[in-house]
Amino acid sequence: MLAPDAGNFRESMSTIVTFGSPRGRLVKLTTGLTLFVCLGITAIGFINFSSFPQPVRWTIFLVPLLLIVGTAPFMVRGYTLTDHMLIIHRLGWSFHVDLTTLVSAEADPAAMNRSVRLCGNGGLFAFCGWFRNQKLGNYRAFSTDPTHSVVLRFPDRVIVVSPDQPDKFATEIMHLK
């Protein structure tokens, strides 16, 4: 049996590079405060369940829990770069971004400054959704620490992610593209 040519063998292998998703101070603060308030309201509702009118009972008890359960699956847990694909790991699932049309990747700790949330989550477990600012225009964020932002520019969209090593991530993603 002949050994595979080293060059062809390397080209056929899939390159995989993983990055963590650091929790920034604002995400930690927002998540902690929200969890404290939601669980506190639920505890008060549970302790004083019978003292509230019927429609209010279940609202006080369930709405805070539904908020937490409804947003937790959208947290960002990390990123994986493979040949022509960025995988954004969420809680129990992942979101895939095709990199074949990627134009540029740049680490920019100020990328998300002065952003307005158009639709999405503004800090509970992550900053995820559609945002807008003067610097980037409309963009989609999958970020847990805006100071670690990497701006991914495509011909038709802009995506912001926040890996634990922004400069290395930007270099690697352009290399794999």
Looking up tokens 């920019």 gives 108
Distance CA(127)–CA(157), nearest Å, equals 17
69-79 pLDDT per residue, tens? 999 999 999 99
- Residue 83, classed as helix, strand or coil, is coil
**Confidence (pLDDT) at 14:** 65
Indicate whether this model's pTM tops 0.85.
no
Q: Which two tokens stand for residue 38?
A: 């939601």
How many Å apart are CA 104 and CA 146, to the nearest integer? Answer: 18
Task: State the pLDDT at residue 62.
Answer: 82
Q: What is the rounded distance in angstroms from the CA atom of residue 171 to the CA atom of residue 168?
A: 5
CB atoms within 10 A of CB 99: 19
CB 136 within 8 A of CB 146: no
Share of the chain above pLDDT 90, in %: 68
List Cβ neighbours of 118 (8 Å cut-off, separation of 6 or more): 129, 130, 131, 132, 138
Report how many helices (DSSP H) and strands (DSSP E) the chain contains, helices first. 4, 10
Q: Any alpha helices (H) in the chain, and if so which ranges?
A: 6-12, 25-47, 54-71, 166-176
For 94, list phi and psi in degrees, rounded to 5.
-140, 155
Backbone φ and ψ of 79, nearest 5°: -135, 145
Tokens of 60: 């006080």
> For every one of its 177 residues, what pLDDT tens digit does the chain have, with 9 covering 90 and above?
334 444 433 344 466 899 999 999 999 999 999 999 988 888 877 777 677 777 777 787 788 889 999 999 999 999 999 988 999 999 999 999 999 999 999 999 999 999 999 999 988 999 999 999 999 999 999 999 999 999 999 999 999 999 999 999 999 998 876
